[in-house]
Amino acid sequence: MSTVLSCGLLQMDPAQFKTVHDFQVSTAARISSLARRGAELVVMPEYAAMIGAGLETAPHAPGNMFDVARLTGAEGYHRWLDFFAATALSNRVHLCPGTFIVPSDGGYTNSCPFFSPRGDLIAEQVQTHLSEQEDRMGLVCGDDIATFNIHGHKLGIAVGTDAWYPEVGRILALLGVDTILAPTAVPAPYTVWRQTRGMWQIVQQNQVFGVEASLGGEWLGVSYQGRSRIFAPVEVTPEGRGVLAEMTSGSIWEELTATLDPSILAEARRTFPIFEHFNVELYENQLSDAYLVGRTVRLKQGRR
């Protein structure tokens, strides 16, 4: 039987950090603050895991995140994994530290690690859907979606622009997920409709919780203006907005917590049983072939 899960998220402005030490101390302190407020799970924005690496490589004047990934390399990536593992362990929290662009055979992956309160790496989700622009930039996509459990809650991760592909949310729902974590980085200028057609829509289509931690401020010459929110089905949220908690308007540096109660998901599913209307036979007959032969983006080498 799943229990109530307390979730915290950080919205971050990378421009606030001047040194690697600043980033490490501030990040650890903010995660500790959320843990003291009762958060058992902490979620950070897309690219947050590589902000420190960007500060390390700054003397080499990296032009973009791919330069940071190239200069950092696989060894540097694993060194940063050690930092986040230690932070999860010291605060006894499950930690999703955002994403890291990682050099891979054939290009780069946008990878999101997930750590247990013991500091164990229990999942590493790679972005599975790419826009044409991301493909041109050199990203390659993964072809697997991981799920994992926290106190009976089943979770999955929609990495980056995966949060704007309804297939990802539907696949996770069919896998029995209760909560989708979505580390995102939404470029400026902010429009509520751009972000609403992402995670909010996936939550409503699949009656799950959604935790979207979004990057704010400036990083490597790009402005980000996403707004972090924790979502639930409209049937069980105040004023039917589908929002349990959200950042204040215009904030780029903030943290919040919310309680994910599985009983309200059960209530929403009783009120409007959308799972009875999923066309699983169509998915089985059509989508597998579409994914295998219709993809125009490159897959990570070594996987089909």
Q: What is the pLDDT of residues 244-278, one digit of tens each?
A: 999 876 677 888 999 999 999 999 999 889 888 88
User: What percentage of residues in the chain have a pLDDT greater than 90?
Assistant: 70
Token pair of 167 as six digits? 């297939």
Say whether pTM exceeds 0.85: yes
3-class state of residue 92 by DSSP: coil
Rounded Cα distance, 31 and 45, in Å: 13
Q: What is the pLDDT of residue 135?
A: 87
CB atoms under 10 Å from CB of 134, counted, come to: 18
pLDDT in tens, 177-188: 999 999 999 998
Average pLDDT for residues 44-67, to the nearest whole number?
Answer: 91
CATH class of the domain at 5-293: alpha beta
pLDDT tens for each residue of 83-126: 999 999 999 999 999 999 999 887 999 999 999 999 999 999 99
Q: What is the mean pLDDT of the chain?
A: 90
Alpha helices (runs of H) in the chain, residue ranges in sequence order: 20-36, 51-56, 65-91, 132-137, 166-174, 192-195, 201-206, 262-271, 280-282, 288-293
